[in-house]
Amino acid sequence: TYDVPESNVDVLIVGAGPAGLMMATWMAKCGINARIVDKRGTKIFNGQADGLQCRTLEIFDSLGFGHRVWRESNHMLEICLWNPDEKGIIRRGDRIPDTIPGISRFQQVVLHQGRIERYFLDELKGCSDLEVERGVVPVELTIDVSNVENVGACPVTVKLRHLSEEEATPKQSATSANGQAVQDGLFRSNLTADDTAELLKVTQLSSKADTEEIVHAKYVLGADGAHSWVRGQIGLRLEGDSTDYIWGVLDIVPITDFPDIRMRCAIHSANAGSVMVIPRENKLVRLYIQLTTTEKIGEGGSKADRSKISPQVILESAQRIMAPYKITYRKLDWWTAYQIGQRVGTKFSVHERVFLAGDAVHTHSPKAGQGMNVSMQDTFNLGWKIASVVKGISSRSILKTYQSERRRIAQDLIEFDRKFSRLFSGRPAKDVMDAEGISMDEFKKAFEKGNMFASGIAVDYGASMIVAKRGDTSDQGDGTDVSVKDPKLRVVSDQSLAAGIEVGKRMPSVKVLNQSDARPWHFQELLPSNGRWRVVVFPGDILKSDQKKKLGEVGKAFESADSFLHRFTPGGGAFNEVFEIFAVHMAPRQSVTIFDFPSVFRHYDEVDGYDYSKIYADDASYHEGFGKMYETFGISDKGCIVILRPDQYVSYVGPMEDTAAVNSFFETFMLPQSHRNEPPAVGR
């Protein structure tokens, strides 16, 4: 036995890469007692992942730092496709928009992972005292299985070891370019043996009594990357293949006569392979090149010999592909090489107590710029759910939807990546008879189609207790049952009332005007990530007496003592603690006031007066156009009620008359709150 300090925590996060930091940010925003540890002594500074999808920018915006990324990043607007002509010389064959116009208020941008991690850290500092504890590794993890369904218990015990600074610093290989030391990403690459075991061995030798501690956690997240130690401890594994594609990545300031170097380009040469050009911030350009297969480089072994790959080898490859154009550099910012496995976890959690996210549960090629995005979106999906369970607002049953929702995304991603890799890496067809070559027409079509997937906007979560749409909820293909058990509580949306607000997808956005002060807002800006559910009533034109009457009925139902609002909001807490109630109407803004709306939409507080931030008009603004929300999203003039999850995904669309369905929806997974004091005051 040993005498080590013991403590309890609600959520322990292992790994402070993009997935872990997203989780930590949710915990901070929702006021959850959490810790985040990372084996590294420092964050990464440059290189690594760089592409940000428009959905990721929407998420960053909801977390409060989207504008920083938008300003600092390089915006990618156009993709140029270069192919060999009949003489085998590369020519620009086509141009397509990088982000499909109209799908989001943001477009795809690039900024390196180090900056993105920095924004997360700044945001954490700004809203909590949660800090990444660096140089800390877990060494033991046990789960008290008899206690996993006991809501308040801390059934996961983790022993943590604190490393010395030397132990926690990754060893850099001594690459030098023009006499300058260059950071590389090899210590994180899968071409290098993982050093966790080595780090542990060193610390065992010098083990000091005060360098270990025991943490009892309610929930643990393994966001510890592709080699995931947590995954190994809980006995989960990745399934799929380790492909023989090896990729070289070079971040340089190029000196070149290639005319499209500031565009995103896919260049297929006749015989020398292909390169993806990604224009970056600070005049940097990233070149992704498929070098060769393992057999050739690794002499028959399955792991490649990375000592044969250098920035020079990658550059020479690029020069062959891009000839007759010339390309070289004086400044090299970062480089790496890695072999791609296309794998996905069989399960994403055990007992819904220990979860895996990010590279720990899916790995694939970097070309479509998905890794970091999908990893962050995993924990963006999970964070609010765990917070809601820890706070006693939701039952543990919602935690199953993490796997049912995210595993399918990971599988889609791997499938997309397989197809895209083959098309990208193959030799272009010489003509229509060249069956082994890749048709450039097919490539362009795949690219265009892939762009919708790659934007992150296409994500469409399946039916479950938190997504009220038709579909078989009991069989998710992986044994996860996320169905509504009580048939009386099963509600199904009526999508025809708002065809463009698709149940299962994220809430789309156009501008609406604040009823009280006429300021235009993008609707998504009204949905910051703070853990709250939103119930949005679209009453249509409230100058029409039948619509006004229906709105009055909705107000009465929401205000009644047996409504979801009363039953699931903790007594004595803030009126808005769990739900925010919005109205977006289509009467001319100047013809109504907030007092034409029931009091539930303009909550009154003795000290702060009325809430002016919940009623909006779908009307023309003075300076920023007319969003036409009803028209754009096909919202019926009969009106409707929409329920949005805390991560902005649409849970339900139904008629204004059916307020009982709204109650039933929440009743399936929310826990009635004991009203210690008075029920939350609804207002005047």
- Residues marked active site are found at 50, 280, 288, 366
- Min dist CB 672 to ligand FAD, Å, is 37
Interface with ligand FAD (CB under 6 A), residue total 37
Query: Which of 260-268, 320-328, 370-378, 411-419 is the region at the interface with ligand FAD (rule: CB under 6 A)?
Result: 370-378
- How far CA 391 is from CA of 142, 395, 438, 564, in Å, comes to 24, 10, 54, 17
Interface pattern 90-119 for ligand FAD (x via CB under 6 A): -----------------------x------
Q: Which of 10, 23, 32, 38 binds ligand FAD (CB under 6 A)?
A: 38
Residue type, 365: S
* Whether 481 contacts 582, CB under 8 Å: no
Peptide bond before 324: cis, by omega within 30 degrees of 0? yes
223 scored as a contact of ligand FAD (CB under 6 A): yes
Q: Which of 366, 456, 504, 540 binds ligand FAD (CB under 6 A)?
A: 366
Phi, psi of 415, deg, nearest 5 = -65, -45
Q: Which of 11, 16, 454, 465 binds ligand FAD (CB under 6 A)?
A: 16
Query: Which of 343-351, 363-371, 425-433, 574-582 is the region at the interface with ligand FAD (rule: CB under 6 A)?
Result: 363-371
Q: Which of 32, 100, 137, 314 binds ligand FAD (CB under 6 A)?
A: 137
Q: Which of 11, 18, 513, 654 binds ligand FAD (CB under 6 A)?
A: 18
- Min dist CB 50 to ligand FAD, Å, is 5
Cβ nearer to ligand FAD, comparing 108 with 663: 108
- In the 3-class helix/strand/coil scheme, how is 602-657 assigned residue by residue? CCEECCCEECCCCEEECCECCCCCECCHHHHCCECCCCEEEEECCCCEEEEEECCC
Query: Which of 158-166, 368-376, 543-551, 654-662 is the region at the interface with ligand FAD (rule: CB under 6 A)?
Result: 368-376
- Min dist CB 222 to ligand FAD, Å, is 9
Cβ nearer to ligand FAD, comparing 158 with 650: 158
15 scored as a contact of ligand FAD (CB under 6 A): yes
Query: Which of 35-43, 412-420, 522-530, 666-674 is the region at the interface with ligand FAD (rule: CB under 6 A)?
Result: 35-43
Cβ nearer to ligand FAD, comparing 378 with 502: 378
Query: Which of 17-25, 205-213, 411-419, 504-512 is the region at the interface with ligand FAD (rule: CB under 6 A)?
Result: 17-25
Query: Which of 26-34, 148-156, 220-228, 536-544 is the region at the interface with ligand FAD (rule: CB under 6 A)?
Result: 220-228
* Whether 380 contacts 647, CB under 8 Å: yes
- Min dist CB 379 to ligand FAD, Å, is 8
Residue type, 104: S
Q: Single out the residue of 673, 650, 669, 652 nearest to residue 661, CA to CA.
A: 652
Burial 460-476 (b: 16+ CB within 10 A, else e): bbbbbbbbbbeeebeeb
Give the separation between CA 638 and CA 647, rounded to whole angstroms. Answer: 27
Give the separation between CA 555 and CA 602, rounded to whole angstroms. Answer: 11
Residue type, 13: I
338 scored as a contact of ligand FAD (CB under 6 A): yes
Give the separation between CA 138 and CA 381, rounded to whole angstroms. Answer: 24
What DSSP string runs through 234-302? TT--EEEEEEEEEEEEEEEEEEE--TTTTSEEEEE-SSS-EEEEEE-GGG-EEEEEEEEEHHHHHTTSS
- Min dist CB 306 to ligand FAD, Å, is 11
Query: Which of 4-12, 18-26, 485-493, 514-522 is the region at the interface with ligand FAD (rule: CB under 6 A)?
Result: 18-26
- How far CA 237 is from CA of 16, 221, 356, 377, in Å, comes to 21, 15, 11, 21
Give the separation between CA 647 and CA 283, rounded to whole angstroms. Answer: 35
Cβ nearer to ligand FAD, comparing 372 with 527: 372
35 scored as a contact of ligand FAD (CB under 6 A): no
Cβ nearer to ligand FAD, comparing 366 with 520: 366
Phi, psi of 18, deg, nearest 5 = -55, -40
Interface pattern 225-244 for ligand FAD (x via CB under 6 A): x---x---------------
- Min dist CB 37 to ligand FAD, Å, is 6
> What is the DSSP pairing of strand 511-514 with strand 520-522?
antiparallel
290 scored as a contact of ligand FAD (CB under 6 A): no
Give residues with Cβ within 8 angstroms of 216, minimum separation 6.
Answer: 6, 7, 8, 9, 154, 156, 157
Interface pattern 190-219 for ligand FAD (x via CB under 6 A): ------x-----------------------
- Min dist CB 647 to ligand FAD, Å, is 18
Q: Which of 29, 35, 40, 506 binds ligand FAD (CB under 6 A)?
A: 40
Going through 346-452 in order, the beta strands assigned E by DSSP cover: 349-350, 354-356, 362-363
Interface pattern 142-181 for ligand FAD (x via CB under 6 A): ----------------------------------------
Phi, psi of 461, deg, nearest 5 = -70, 140
Give residues with Cβ within 8 angstroms of 402, minimum separation 6.
Answer: 348, 349, 352, 355, 381, 382, 385
Query: Which residue do the tokens 């609804």 mark?
Result: 682
Give the separation between CA 172 and CA 185, rounded to whole angstroms. Answer: 8
- Min dist CB 493 to ligand FAD, Å, is 33
* Whether 597 contacts 525, CB under 8 Å: no
Cβ nearer to ligand FAD, comparing 153 with 214: 214
Cβ nearer to ligand FAD, comparing 140 with 295: 140
14 scored as a contact of ligand FAD (CB under 6 A): yes
Q: Which of 11, 27, 32, 39 binds ligand FAD (CB under 6 A)?
A: 39
- Min dist CB 198 to ligand FAD, Å, is 11
17 scored as a contact of ligand FAD (CB under 6 A): yes
* Whether 229 contacts 14, CB under 8 Å: yes
| Token pair recorded at residue 254 | 């190029």
Residue type, 226: A
Burial 625-653 (b: 16+ CB within 10 A, else e): eebebbeebebbeebbbbbbbbbbbbbbb
Cβ nearer to ligand FAD, comparing 454 with 586: 454
Give residues 44-83 in contact with ligand FAD (rule: CB under 6 A): 48-51
Q: Which of 192, 233, 349, 375 binds ligand FAD (CB under 6 A)?
A: 375
- Min dist CB 203 to ligand FAD, Å, is 12
- Min dist CB 170 to ligand FAD, Å, is 8
Give the separation between CA 28 and CA 119, rounded to whole angstroms. Answer: 14
Q: Which of 369, 456, 504, 654 binds ligand FAD (CB under 6 A)?
A: 369
* Whether 264 contacts 92, CB under 8 Å: no
279 scored as a contact of ligand FAD (CB under 6 A): no
Residues at the interface with ligand FAD (CB under 6 A): 14-20, 37-40, 48-51, 113, 137-138, 185, 188-189, 196, 223-225, 229, 336, 338, 358-360, 366, 369-372, 375
